[in-house]
Amino acid sequence: MPFPKRVFSGIQPSGDLHLGNYLGAIKRFVPLQDEFDCIYCVVDMHAITVWQEPEDLKRRTYEVAAAYLAAGLDPKKSIIFNQSQVAEHAELAWVFNCVARMGWMARMTQFKDKAGKNSENVSLGLFAYPSLMAADILLYKTTHVPVGEDQKQHLELTRDIAAKFNHDFSASIAARGHDGDYFPITEPVITGPATRVMSLRDGTKKMSKSDSSSEMATIYLMDDADAITKKIKKAKTDPEPLPSEAKGLEARPEAANLVGIYAALADTTIDAVLSQYGGQGFGVFKPALAELAVSVLGPQAAEMRRLVADPGEIEAVLRDGADRARVLAEKNMAEIRDIVGFVR
């Protein structure tokens, strides 16, 4: 029997949200609500894999939830909650820690990047993190996960964990009357012109929450119009005019990044942007991009500020979302305990 379609995605409340999070993830969550049953999570348990000041963690949890709502996620259509309110995420992650292999985890490039030369001294949670991510996804038998390009490897690992669980426990799964596999093999949804937004100062580096190289490299969702405009006008570029076809962007990472950002913000394609701006220089393109970015992000930043100023509304959304998520999680986790052989 095919698995019913379900979407799950999550964002960590671990730093200030930026344009990469918006274009690579949040913006793409919105239209999926009309097509699928969607669950959007603020993954606070992932955030503590590196140190978070407790008060900052709370504030940022509200900010991610506010960004979801401001972008157009509708708590009536989608389940919106924070991970730590549904204990089954941690419980299933433990089971998956015992399914996943050390070698699989050791290959994760994000762990290697984050741990750097310091790998003896980072938390055990940071190493096990992909197993918690697999639990988030599979706890709800999720079939589709919209994310940015950087999460591809973690989703492949999620598929490996699902397949190994289905295989290792196949007899127990069948004995409990389940028809075929227990977990779906989840599809990543990595689409559109901005699945990897790059730093405005270096077109070969990903835009990230933790870019300390320069505050000009990152557009934050809470930036005001002046900051957005200044950052775009000062963005690194080359002296050539824009090409009229996408092929002409190949060896021009900074130009490619700005065109991709424009296309994503305007809900169009890179080819369409180039057919309008091909042959023009950045003196024309950058002000147009700045104006577009301010018109899209400005109203959302205002709504985020309104929501976080009085978090009662966000708290109610998260509590209600957690109650709805917990119903699904409890049902599946009871089956998983039984499949594994835990006495109840």
| Contacts with 55 (C-beta within 8 Å, 6 or more apart), sequence order | none
Per-residue mark of binding to ligand AMP, 200-239 (x: CB under 6 A): ------xxxx------------------------------
Is residue 155 a contact point for ligand AMP (CB under 6 A)? no
Is residue 143 within 8 Å of 185, Cβ to Cβ? Answer: no
Is residue 148 within the footprint of ligand AMP (CB under 6 A)? yes
- Tell me which stretch binds ligand AMP (CB under 6 A): 21-29, 73-81, 117-125, 235-243: 21-29
What single-letter DSSP state applies at residue 213?
Answer: S
Contacted by 39, from ligand TRP, ligand AMP, none: CB < 5 to 8 Å by type: none
186 touches ligand TRP (CB under 6 A): no
Does the protein bind ligand AMP through residue 196 (CB under 6 A)? yes
Q: Is the CA virtual torsion 221, 227, 232, 236 positive or negative?
A: negative
Position with the least CB separation from ligand TRP = 10
Q: Does 137 participate in binding ligand TRP (rule CB under 6 A)?
A: yes
DSSP alpha helix (H) spans, the chain: 19-21, 27-32, 44-47, 54-71, 88-97, 102-106, 109-115, 124-138, 152-168, 170-175, 225-233, 253-265, 270-277, 282-309, 312-340
Report the residue number, 138 or 155, with the smaller CB distance to ligand AMP.
155
Selection from 147, 145, 156, 143 nearest residue 108 by Cα: 156
Exposure string of 219-241, with b = 16+ CB inside 10 Å and e = fewer, is bbbbbeeebbbebbeebbbeeeb
Position 114 contacts ligand AMP (CB under 6 A): no
- Which distant-in-sequence residues (6+ apart) come within 8 Å of 43 by Cβ? 10, 11, 12, 13, 82, 83, 133, 136
Q: Which residues contact 308 (CB under 8 A, 6 or more apart)?
A: 59, 62, 63, 66, 314
Q: Annotated active-site positions, please?
A: 114, 206, 209
Question: Quick one: what does residue 195 bind among ligand AMP, ligand TRP, none, with the CB cut-off 5 to 8 Å set by partner type?
Answer: ligand AMP
For ligand TRP, the closer of residues 56 and 313 by Cβ is 56
The entry of ligand TRP, ligand AMP, none near residue 52 (CB within 5 to 8 angstroms by kind) is: none
* CA-angle at 314, arms to 62 and 66, nearest 5°: 50
Q: From the list ligand TRP, ligand AMP, none, which binds 154 (C-beta under 5 to 8 Å, kind-based)?
A: ligand TRP
Residue of 12, 78, 143, 186 that binds ligand AMP (CB under 6 A):
12
Q: Quick one: which of 16, 91, 150, 303 contacts ligand AMP (CB under 6 A)? A: 150
Residues contributing to the site for ligand TRP (CB under 6 A): 8-10, 12, 43, 46, 133, 136-137, 145, 147, 151, 154
